[in-house]
Structure 1
Amino acid sequence: MSLRRFLLLGILLPVGLFVVINAASLYRQTLSAVNTAYDRTLLASAKSIGELLDVQGFDDAAQLRVTVPYAALEAFEADNQSRMFYRVSTKQGELVSGFAELRAWRGTLPDKSTYAALVDFYDDTFRGEPVRVAVLLQPVASQAGRGMAVIQVAETLELRETLTRKILVDTLWRQAVLVAVIALVAVLVIQRATQPVRQLSVTMEHRREGDLTPISAPDAPRELLPLVEATNHVMARLDHLLENQKRFVRDAAHQLRTPLAVLKTQVQSALRGDIEPQQALAEINDTVDRATLLANQMLSLAKVEQLRQQPEVAMHDFAQVTRSIALELSPLIADRNLDFDITTDPAPVVAHEWMLRELARNLLHNAIRHSPPGGVLSIRVVADANSAALTIADGGPGISAELRTRLFEPFSTGNPLSGSGLGLAICREIVDALGGTLSLENREQRGRVEGLDTTVRLPLRENGG
């Protein structure tokens, strides 16, 4: 269901239901008012007949006499649409005058009445037609007697039915006009209110393929702004992912071309016999190792971006992960005869375990590679109320001020022969994804650089990425 149809139904259905209920209520109220008005006419007719009564004798011996000319009732017949009939009888039901077919009243007077008379109204039939009857208990007194007369005046319902139908038609017509006006106003308002949505839809449909620039909707209503902002956020994330993919393909094509070209040259040289086979195999092995390291690190850099889009909910102990990585790299530490020390405190962080392992592995491997044989290498993991800190202190030459500005850029390295320049770039991406910080500080004593302190600080228990 479209938004416009939903809004129209949501507005017009309750309004239509209310109009129907209101029309029925108004019709009943008007019909009651019509009946009250015509009942007063019946009562007036009965009273006019009562004024023509005469009596001889008292109480039970009273004999009523009445002569009712038709003109007495004709005055109360409206537009010749209704006919009136009467019956005058004693309290015991004996007919005195009028139409004998009109059944004698056997009812009781109401407890409460709006009229200053002993009167009752009821519906009946006369000669097969429905009639409305007014019955009046009229005391009659004269010098010759005293008694009680029962006067019944009946009226056919043509006039009431005609007026009722007219009231019903007028009511329905007015309500129909009201509903039509409300529907027209609702359509115009909804059409105007949904115009920004249609404009936004047209704008999105006419966008070029691959256009992920933010949506500009300055005329959008406040209710639509959260959707626009959320869409822009999603498009920004998609643009970031596409840029990373493009960068990965571009870097892979550029960086892998060189070692492959070198490898091909080395193979051709070995086939020609330009160098000894043992030396050729050693050079080819070294080239393959560098190409393998480069490919693995580029895949790691791409995986970091992939995991960034998949927030981790599991908690891992950064200290335990660091100890595990140190154990894996212990042969390298022993090979360089380093004075190694590790101190850790429990440090639970919410992160992908692969990210923590890759972060610790790259930083520790980098520290081992730059530490001189027999040097000092220490690892310390501490935690406070808010964060966990990993500090790796090596005994290497440190970093220069010029190298510090570009060290975290991909393929930027201080020694092209010793690495691909992706290790620290991977670490920076991981730390950013986890909402932490990464710093490299030279450790100096008496103006002389004694090594490099690499510190990673990650938030505890909450992933800030």
Structure 2
Amino acid sequence: MSSRQRPLNASPDNTNANALAAAPGAAPHADGRPSGSTVHDPSPPPDTASTGAISLRKYLLVGILLPVGLLVVANTFSLYRQALDAVNTAYDRTLLASAKSIGEQLDVTGYDEQSELRVTVPYAALEAFEADNQSRLFYRVSSLNGKMVSGFAQLPFWRGTIPARPPYSALVDFYDDAFMGDDVRVAVLLQPVASAKGRAMAVIQVAETLELRKTLARKILLDTLWRQALLLAVIALVAVIVVQRATRPVRRLSAELQGRPEGDLTAITAPDAPRELLPLVDATNEVMGRLQHLLDNQKRFVRDAAHQLRTPLAVLKVQVQSALRGDMEARDALVEINQTVDRATVLANQMLALAKVEQLRQQADLQAIDLAQVVRSVALDLSPLIAEKDIDFEIETVPARVTSHEWMLGELTRNLLHNAIKHMPVGGTLAVRIVRDASVVAMTVSDSGPGISAELSARLYQPFSAGNVRHGSGLGLAICREITETMHGSISLENRVVHGRVVGLDATVRLPTT
């Protein structure tokens, strides 16, 4: 590498010390394990059955069978009432036929108030209307004013009114009553009676005991109940089978996940999963992908830390042993030891900063921050380094708010400025400019250094790819790239060429505006 080429991925020695506390692996725990390491919990997983969570199958079965059961109960009651009404209508028609049969036996002498009714009704004439000898019929024939003509005098005289719209083409009324200690159903027929000798209105009452009706009502009820119970059982069986088949993919998926070896975070393949389950599968695969990414970063951090810190520690040990043997002056040994410690400190801080970027990537507490204010604050912190090299520094900013963490913006700016300062000649020029449009904020750090070679630019953003390993760890630009990608931005480094000669380097960061 020529003397004009310089590594640009070193970052400042004074990297924010907060990264030490925030990044994984920063400090060991009291039990000796590294911070951020994965610890296997030997305790068994909690039993989901004991947490009180209702199972999907039980939820579906209850959700299906409960409303269906209530509907069947309501339907059973409705069917029973309808059947009972139909039975009552049929038996009421029989009572009406009995009353009309009695009315055919009436005779009258005299007119209206002076009329006198006569009737001869042998009880055998009513036997045709008695069913299976289970019910008994009673009758009473009276005048309109209640005068007894024939029948059972104990049967109370009717005091009601004929409905405005009777169910039959006759002056008839039906009501429930009690007679001789039994419940009865009574039909009342107002029968006009006319003859050559007179005219009158007869009141014919026919009462029937309810044994047959009650027996038939019980039969209808039992028949309805067992049919509805059979219907409910069939529905329950079908629901159980359907729910069992519908939840089979969930059980299969659960068994597949439980049967996986520890640490297997590969994507779930469920080609036969129903459409309703696909969002859950996709979300699970996304979560496992993020977990795999975190584990890979953790493993890479531990591997890189073990590899990169081994060299400065080995060098430090050799320097200490050399000083103890008296191979060099104590002051010279301390100077070399101090340089080694500084390099190791820079390396550790940058590795922790890189880990912290990944940690912040997973957090959602972003806020709108003015990039110009952050750049001016970082430039003020680095002003002693700028003055030490007698650099002509220029800063030009406009208000530019971006959505990010303040630490990330500060770390990004610090790395870019420190790299430029560290690899610039004494008395050079350094400029920071921020411009923005409707959607993008662009920050450009322009220095007057030697630029970068094509060979170095091909691996510039890779960790530990410094151009000069004695002056950098190779993590500065890797941190910058991780930060810009986290903020959905981009970073580019381009040599500034005038008349065919490289006169500096422009590092440009583009970030979306708020």
Band the TM-score falls in, shorter-chain normalisation: over 0.9
5+ long unaligned stretches in structure 1: none
Q: Does structure 2 conserve the Cα–Cα contact (< 8 Å) formed by 1:314 and 1:351?
A: yes
CA distance in 1, matches of 2:265, 2:77: 58
Tell me the residue number matched to 2:186: 133
CA distance in 1, matches of 2:165, 2:365: 80
CA distance in 2, matches of 1:293, 1:59: 129
Aligned length: 461
Q: Does structure 2 conserve the Cα–Cα contact (< 8 Å) formed by 1:312 and 1:350?
A: no
Higher relative contact order (Cα pairs below 8 Å, separated by 6+ residues): 2
Q: CA deviation at 1:114?
A: 2.1
Q: CA deviation at 1:319?
A: 0.8
Tell me the residue number matched to 2:326: 273
Cα offsets for 1:116-173 (capped at 9, x unmatched): 1111111111101000111111111112222221111111111111111111111111
Query: Which residues of 2 match residues 24-103 of structure 1 at below 5 A?
Result: 24-103=77-156
Q: CA deviation at 1:55?
A: 1.4
CA distance in 2, matches of 1:58, 1:274: 157
Cα offsets for 1:233-256 (capped at 9, x unmatched): 111111111111111111111111
SS in 1 for 2:129: coil
Cα offsets for 1:5-32 (capped at 9, x unmatched): 1111111111111111111111111111
CA distance in 1, matches of 2:145, 2:369: 105
Query: Which residues of 2 match residues 50-199 of structure 1 at below 5 A?
Result: 50-199=103-252
Does structure 1 residue 409 correspond to structure 2 residue 467? no
Q: Does structure 2 conserve the Cα–Cα contact (< 8 Å) formed by 1:387 and 1:459?
A: yes
Alignment match of 1:346 (pick from 399, 403, 406): 399
* Deviates further, 435-444 or 50-59: 50-59
Structure 2 residue identity aligned to 1:409: Q
Query: What RMSD in Å do the two structures reach over aligned CA positions?
Result: 1.0
Structure 2 residue identity aligned to 1:189: V
CA distance in 1, matches of 2:493, 2:322: 42
CA distance in 2, matches of 1:376, 1:159: 116
Cα offsets for 1:254-311 (capped at 9, x unmatched): 1111111111111111111111122111111111111111111111111111111112
CA distance in 2, matches of 1:346, 1:16: 68
SS in 2 for 1:120: strand
CA distance in 2, matches of 1:378, 1:148: 124
TM-score, normalization: structure 1?
A: 0.98
Tell me the residue number matched to 2:476: 423
Tell me the residue number matched to 1:455: 508
Does structure 1 residue 325 correspond to structure 2 residue 378? yes
Structure 2 residue identity aligned to 1:257: R
TM-score, normalization: structure 2?
A: 0.88
CA distance in 1, matches of 2:477, 2:318: 30
SS in 2 for 1:372: coil
Q: CA deviation at 1:40?
A: 0.7
Q: Does structure 2 conserve the Cα–Cα contact (< 8 Å) formed by 1:394 and 1:453?
A: yes
Tell me the residue number matched to 2:45: none
* Deviates further, 200-209 or 140-149: 140-149
Q: Does structure 2 conserve the Cα–Cα contact (< 8 Å) formed by 1:370 and 1:394?
A: no
Q: CA deviation at 1:201?
A: 0.7
Q: CA deviation at 1:312?
A: 3.1
Q: Percent identity?
A: 72
Does structure 1 residue 382 correspond to structure 2 residue 435? yes
Cα offsets for 1:359-402 (capped at 9, x unmatched): 00001000111111111111111121112111001111111111
CA distance in 2, matches of 1:458, 1:148: 106
CA distance in 2, matches of 1:182, 1:421: 71
Does structure 1 residue 437 correspond to structure 2 residue 490? yes
Q: Does structure 2 conserve the Cα–Cα contact (< 8 Å) formed by 1:55 and 1:65?
A: yes
Tell me the residue number matched to 1:244: 297
